[in-house]
Structure 1
Amino acid sequence: MRRAPTWLAALSLGLTALFAAPSAQAADTAGPAGRGPSLYVPDANPQAYRQAYELARQGKFLDAAGILAMVGTPQAVWFGDQTPAQVERMVRQVVRDADEDDAVPVLALYDIPGRDCSNYSAGGAADTAEYKEWIDAVARGIGSRDAMVTLEPDALALLPSDCGQDDAQGTKTAARYLEVNYAVDHLEPLRGTRVYLDTGHPGWHAVDSIVPRLIKGGVGHASGFYTNASNYNTDDANSWYGKLISSCIAYVGAGGDVAACPNQWWPRADAQAWLDANVHTPPSRMTHFVTDSSRNGQGPWTPPAGTYPDPQDWCNPPDRGLGARPTLRTGDPLQDARLWIKTPGESDGLCLRGTPGPQDPERGTVDPEAGDWFPEQALELVRFANPPVLPRS
């Protein structure tokens, strides 16, 4: 596990003392009614500490404190591309550290074969057999300790058949469902583990498109699903999308036709009237969900009209902000948690927006590769955070 150097620990303490007043919305990570564990804060990307140090050295203490506050907020720990032996050891260390802190870690597992349609975040296991071995290693690493697992972002929202990488028989898509089901069946039964499946986000799949994928992916054997991972949709849009999906799953489970379910683009009053008339399952028996609020403080980016051949509104959009702090107390009987799944401050990839590049035409710079620290974006997330990460004078 990574730990901040001694000089950074001293810097952090100094900045914490300087900006000791609580933010507009402190992270409320405790369990229901304040009981039980909180959410786990992992070690930060070392480049985040270095950025904070450089900002403080330049006298930009508020920005430095903001970066430290951001990385000191509970967020997911991502795993992918490690060997089985490596991932077992790394997962065991995280869940052990979290257990010592009386906290629940969020594990983002990202090793599915053909992930991200072999685009910016290409990689993952070579085949199904290798993936099963990797999942088995994760399961051994978790053991009997607590963990929330956001399983394979984009695995169901972006199937091999969606990006022209499958054969006429749908072999790779069938394998994808087998892999996701295998992961659910081997992780969810662990004593303290809750597994959530991918839905993309509310601006992508309609409810009647994603629900069959969730059902086929084994959501009935999981704790639920998640939405908005690494995206920018508002909390309201995410919670409403989650409610519609959960309600549709219940409706289909009772023998209804998925095509009849209201989607996120219906007038909300009409959709609610449909739910009232057709879904009578109590929330305790419905499929639950979690959402990602790591970068949605300003909502989605609207690209300038007609400027780019492919605006890539999901890829390092400018002037976004950190969203509401993670919590296990959402006030919604269907929503188990609001999380920071995407690591804020890490790049989405080399965004070209349909241009030859190499620069991101919206930013005028060459963006870091996916997963690398992006100092400019990290500062934007802090400065445009909603609610703010530090008190405003």
Structure 2
Amino acid sequence: MPAQSPAAPATASGNPFAGSRFYVDPDSEAVAAVARLRNSAPADAAALSRIANTSHADWFGGDTANPDAVRTRVAGRVNEIRAAGALPVLVAYAIPNRDCGSYSAGGAGSPDSYRAWIAAFAAGIGRGPAAVILEPDAIAQTDCLSAADRQTRYSLLSNAVDVLARAGVAVYLDAGNATWHSAADTAARLRAAGVDRARGFALNVSNFDETADERAYAAAVSAALGGTAHAVIDTSRNGLGPAPGNVWCNPPGRALGAAPTSNVGDPIVDAYLWIKVPGESDGTCNGGPGAGQWWLDYALGLAARAAG
């Protein structure tokens, strides 16, 4: 891709979700589970339909040593979604030292490898509307890094914002959640990662905080950034709020939250999204399989306890 000047801040371009269609994956694990259970356990199938019939983001975090592969996979998915007349909502999840070595550890093996990966990721998106949630937990978890690695991470995130913005993507840097860092602290971290050139930030990704609390936090963070940054909130599993003690890894007793929508009546919040795929495990905790693996029992619980 030829060198280009940095894009103008995406905050000026308007809410990318307004008037856009949310894509429902016809080949998801939830759809397959509904088909398997329809005859043998119709009540379970009906509950799971709440997941199967709802849009969720697509996560990309592999192929860090093979940029051609990630470009091909992203392009295939994006083309499928656009062919359906919907807006691609993707998660980039390959930052070096990902998840501080915890359940979702991994990511690119070096800064150069990540730069190549994010360039390939953006190339796969091509030209056209899309939204990207950039690197869940990467900003909130910088405390686990050395001072040098922390600066490298901010540099990589800032470069990723520019690469994606040049492709016309609405970028939302992940900013943790309302219970993690103060609004002023989060705003400073976002500033270091280039949020001024992004659409804004994402909150509550893979977490369970109450939507009202996250909306208030979004307003505080945006105000600390000068009021121009917008937010999206993950409502995939917060229908009953956080678990006792704010347990975040496969906590029991949780429920699906509000379905994805841009009609939230909030000047700061662009949309509620299901960024975490409901039914995919947080990791090998509380009886779950590996991070990102489908867990039918947990999905059933989320769906059965959902309102409506």
TM-score, length of structure 1 as denominator length: 0.71
Q: In the TM superposition, what is the alpha-carbon distance from 1:44 to its structure 2 partner? A: 4.5
CA contact (8 A) 1:128 1:175 kept: yes
SS at match of 1:291: strand
Separation of aligned partners in 1, 2:294 and 2:209: 22
1:375 aligns with 2:296: yes
Aligned to 2:13: none
1:243 aligns with 2:219: yes
Query: AA paired with 2:93?
Result: Y
Q: In the TM superposition, what is the alpha-carbon distance from 1:228 to its structure 2 partner? A: 0.1
Aligned to 1:118: 101
1:175 aligns with 2:117: no
Q: In the TM superposition, what is the alpha-carbon distance from 1:37 to its structure 2 partner? A: 2.4
After TM superposition, the structure 1 = structure 2 runs for residues 106-255 of structure 1, keeping only pairs within 5 Å, are 106-159=89-142, 162-163=143-144, 165-166=145-146, 170-191=147-168, 193-250=169-226
Deviation digits for residues 345-382 of structure 1, max 9, x if unmatched? 0000011xxxxxxxx3xxxxx32111111111101110
CA RMSD, Structure 1 to Structure 2 (Å):
1.6
TM-score, length of structure 2 as denominator length: 0.90
Percent identity between matched residues is 41
Q: In the TM superposition, what is the alpha-carbon distance from 1:132 to its structure 2 partner? A: 0.4
SS at match of 1:104: coil
Q: In the TM superposition, what is the alpha-carbon distance from 1:42 to its structure 2 partner? A: 2.9
- Number of matched residues? 291
Deviation digits for residues 40-84 of structure 1, max 9, x if unmatched? 2235444x34533443342x2122022133122111000002231
Structure 1: 5+ residue stretches without partners: 1-29, 251-280, 304-311, 352-359, 361-365, 389-393
Deviation digits for residues 276-317 of structure 1, max 9, x if unmatched? xxxxx6xxxx211110000000000014xxxxxxxx700001
Match of 1:289 among 225, 231, 247: 231
1:79 aligns with 2:60: yes
Seen in structure 2, the aligned counterparts of structure 1 residues 210 and 200 have a Cα distance that, compared at 3 Å, is same
Seen in structure 2, the aligned counterparts of structure 1 residues 50 and 39 have a Cα distance that, compared at 3 Å, is closer
Query: AA paired with 1:313?
Result: V
After TM superposition, the structure 1 = structure 2 runs for residues 325-364 of structure 1, keeping only pairs within 5 Å, are 325-351=259-285, 360=286
CA contact (8 A) 1:96 1:145 kept: no
Query: AA paired with 1:63?
Result: D
Query: AA paired with 1:344?
Result: P
SS at match of 2:225: helix
CA contact (8 A) 1:148 1:195 kept: yes
Seen in structure 2, the aligned counterparts of structure 1 residues 204 and 148 have a Cα distance that, compared at 3 Å, is same
Separation of aligned partners in 2, 1:222 and 1:105: 17
Structure 2: 5+ residue stretches without partners: 1-15
Q: In the TM superposition, what is the alpha-carbon distance from 1:181 to its structure 2 partner? A: 0.5
| Deviation beyond 6 Å, 4+ runs, structure 1 | none
Separation of aligned partners in 2, 1:239 and 1:210: 15
Aligned to 1:105: 88
CA contact (8 A) 2:115 2:160 kept: yes
Separation of aligned partners in 2, 1:349 and 1:55: 25
Q: In the TM superposition, what is the alpha-carbon distance from 1:95 to its structure 2 partner? A: 1.5
Aligned to 1:67: 48
CA contact (8 A) 1:348 1:369 kept: yes
CA contact (8 A) 1:76 1:108 kept: yes
Q: In the TM superposition, what is the alpha-carbon distance from 1:31 to its structure 2 partner? A: 5.0
Separation of aligned partners in 1, 2:17 and 2:225: 26
CA contact (8 A) 2:174 2:202 kept: yes
Separation of aligned partners in 2, 1:89 and 1:249: 36
Seen in structure 2, the aligned counterparts of structure 1 residues 98 and 53 have a Cα distance that, compared at 3 Å, is closer
